Each structure stands twice: as C-alpha cells, then as structure tokens.
Amino acid sequence: MFISNAYAQAAGDPTGGLMGLLPLILMFIVLWFLMIRPQMKRAKEHKAMVAALAKGDEVVTQGGIAGRVTDLGDNFLHIEVADKVNILVQRQAVATVLPKGTLKAL
C-alpha cells in the first residue's frame, strides 16, 4: 500500500563512463602543455647553465647581486662584487650569465 514497486533501470550507454572522463583527460593534457612541460624545460636549461659556469663568468644571482666568478666549488661559488670583495653563494642561486664585458667596473 505505501511501498511502491522498485523497477530495475534500463542499462545505459556503455561509453557513458568514458565520455564522462574525456573533459578531465583534456584538461590534464592542456595543463601539461601550458604549465608542466615549460617549467621542466626551464629547469633543465637552468641546470645546464649552472653546470657550465666557469671562472671569469659574469653572473647575476637570484637576489640581484652582479659579479664575476673567481672560484668554483661543487656546491658554492666565490663571486667578486667589488675590488677584493668576494661573497660565497650557492651555485643554484645564479639566475643568469651575463655577456663578457658587461661588468666593466670590476
């Protein structure tokens, strides 16, 4: 009397589950090409630049300090920022390598 009959639903489209995941897959592909892949490329270029540092290179650190590399270690660099003024920075702190002759005051 108060209980209604329960009927089984008809089987749905078998591709319905796959079509529901399609937007999620497309968003991941777009995210990969717009964000993840360029960041990985930038990190690879930075690692190669840091590995190629040599004595005499003119560099700018991530903190904005410009100077000339005077000594190299495995993890640290000595950078001359003024006459007889050297600072010690991590290799990974180097942001860019400047063209030769940019820092003429040193």
Query: Which one is predicted more confidently, 20 or 41?
Result: 41
% residues pLDDT > 70 (the chain): 88
62 falls within a domain: yes
| 68 and 80 housed in the same domain | yes
For residues 71 and 59, membership in a common domain is answered with yes
**Distance, CA of 106 to CA of 97 (rounded, Å):** 16
**Does a structural domain hold residue 2?**
no
Question: Which CATH number characterizes residue 76's domain?
Answer: 2.30.30.100
Residue 105 lies in a domain: no
Confidence of residue 12 (pLDDT cuts 50, 70, 90): low
Give me the phi and psi of 21, to 5 degrees please: -85, -15
The answer to whether residues 66 and 48 belong to one domain is no
Q: Is residue 48 in a domain?
A: yes
The reply to whether 58 and 91 lie within a common domain is yes
pTM confidence score: 0.71
Q: How many domains does the chain have?
A: 2
**pLDDT for residue 44 is more than 90:** yes
Q: Are residues 38 and 59 in the same domain?
A: no
What domain range is 20 assigned to? 14-52
Whether 33 and 43 map to the same domain: the answer is yes
Give residue for tokens 């650190």: 61
**What's the confidence (pLDDT) of residue 82?**
92
- Report whether pLDDT(5) > 80: no
* Cβ pair 77, 87 in contact under 8 A: no
Tell me: pLDDT of 27 over 90.
yes
Q: What is the pLDDT of residue 16?
A: 64
